[in-house]
Structures are given as structure tokens and as C-alpha cells.
Amino acid sequence: MEYGDWDQSYNEVPRWLQASQQTNPRTIFQLSCPPVNVDAEDGTSTYIMECCFWAFGPCIEGFKYCKPVVQVDGTFLTGRYHATLLTAIAQDGNRNIFPLAFAIVEGKGILSVLRSEEVDWESDNLHSVYCICHLGSNFNNRFKNEDLKKQFINLAYEIKQPTVQAKLSAMRSQFSQAVAWIDKIPLHKWS
């Protein structure tokens, strides 16, 4: 209510990104929102935003001081427009979260973005892995067993491959459905 209705707010996104670029040197952004002319008395155009991406110049510059690991997470936006806000973060030398880039996308999850031809994620010897906290949460939502969830998370942090296989085998005899769920996720993506 502070900034107007949904249509007004989305119509301001291009202007906001341009202002951010002017006040933060080396800020970049990309929009996919062609203007659509509507029958407005003042002749203004309305933007129908499909997606947008931005990274602030100071964040781009600061990345060189971060650990070479990028984490991407998403959250569903609620309200009139159901999009997803994706954030890319790193960790600085003091183990603080350091924001890198942001995107608002319609109906795309992180995995579909990583698999898209435009991103071509794994061609440059880069690798994606899954967040064990998210997997543990999904695991617990499915099986409603907090102790089993803890076993799964501890298994993900196990260093020795033979130990991982032995613990999975032990779990398989007691919790075959849970281990079948785990087996669907490539081991190198979570362990």
C-alpha cells in the first residue's frame, strides 16, 4: 500500500533498476518485460515483466574477496503475481553471507534454470550440489521422522565413502522407502 498497487509497482521496476545502476557504478541488470501500450490518457506504457536480473556493482567487486562457492536459493513471492525471487550469495573471509545477484523469474525453479541452455552451468568445469538443509527438510516433510532426518543429514557430512555406503545399507533394511527416496538423488549431489 505504501508504494501503490501491484501494477504500479511492477511498472516501476525498470526505472528502479536504472536508478540503481546510476547510483551504484558497475551495477548491471537485464529485463525481459516488453512495454505494452494500453489505452491510457497520458500515453504511458505498462510493462509486463517476465523476468529480471540485477547485480549491484559493489557486490560484483566484492566477490573477488569471497570463497569461490556460490549458493543459489529461491523463495516464492506471494500476492497478485506469483513469481520466484532467486538470490545468489557467497561467503566472505569472515564467514558472513555476501549477496551477489538477484533475479525475479516466472515459474522457474533453480534446477530448471541450471539445466537451461542459456546458463550452461556445468560446461566450464563448474558443479552444482544440493543444500543438505533443504534436502533434510524435504525428507522430513515426506517421512515425518525427525530422528531419521538427523541420520540422513549426518550421513551427508560423512567423509569416508565406504562409511556412507555401510550406513545406507543399514538404513535400507529398516527404512526401505526412505532410502529409496535418497537413492533417487545422485550421491555426488548431496554427500
The single residue listed with the C-alpha cell 511498472 is 11
Of 2-11, 88-97, 125-134, 143-152, the poorest mean pLDDT is in 2-11
- In the structure grid, which three cell numbers stand for residue 55, read together? 547485480
Question: What pLDDT, on the 0 to 100 scale, is given for residue 45?
Answer: 63
End residue of a domain, out of 86, 108, 124: 124
Question: What pLDDT, on the 0 to 100 scale, is given for residue 76?
Answer: 85
The single residue listed with the C-alpha cell 532410502 is 179
Banded pLDDT at 2 (limits 50, 70, 90): low
Range of the domain at 171: 132-190
Question: What pLDDT, on the 0 to 100 scale, is given for residue 191?
Answer: 84
Question: What pLDDT, on the 0 to 100 scale, is given for residue 69?
Answer: 86
Domain shared by 64 and 93, yes or no = yes
Distance, CA of 39 to CA of 173 (rounded, Å): 67
Q: What is the pLDDT of residues 102-145, one digit of tens each?
A: 988 876 766 676 666 766 666 667 777 888 888 999 999 999 99
**In this structure, is residue 96 part of a structural domain?**
yes
Domain shared by 40 and 97, yes or no = yes
pTM of the model: 0.67
DSSP secondary structure letter of residue 101: E
Q: Is the pLDDT of residue 11 over 90?
A: no
Q: Of 97, 78, 22, nearest to 54 (Cα)?
A: 22
**In this structure, is residue 1 part of a structural domain?**
no
Domain shared by 16 and 91, yes or no = yes
Domain shared by 113 and 153, yes or no = no
Domain shared by 99 and 169, yes or no = no
End residue of a domain, out of 75, 92, 124: 124
Residue 84's beta-bridge partner residues?
A: 76, 105
Banded pLDDT at 14 (limits 50, 70, 90): confident
Which SS3 state, helix, strand or coil, does residue 124 take? helix
Domain shared by 120 and 144, yes or no = no
Distance, CA of 162 to CA of 179 (rounded, Å): 16
Question: What pLDDT, on the 0 to 100 scale, is given for residue 48?
Answer: 67
End residue of a domain, out of 70, 102, 124: 124
Question: What pLDDT, on the 0 to 100 scale, is given for residue 74?
Answer: 85
**Structural domain count, the chain:** 2
Q: What is the pLDDT of residues 27-65, one digit of tens each?
A: 999 888 666 666 666 666 665 667 889 999 999 999 999
Domain shared by 34 and 120, yes or no = yes
Domain shared by 62 and 90, yes or no = yes
Domain shared by 100 and 161, yes or no = no
Burial of 10 (0-12, 13-18, 19+ CB in 10 A): buried
Amino acid letter, residue 33: C
Distance, CA of 189 to CA of 31 (rounded, Å): 31
Domain shared by 19 and 110, yes or no = yes
Domain shared by 120 and 136, yes or no = no
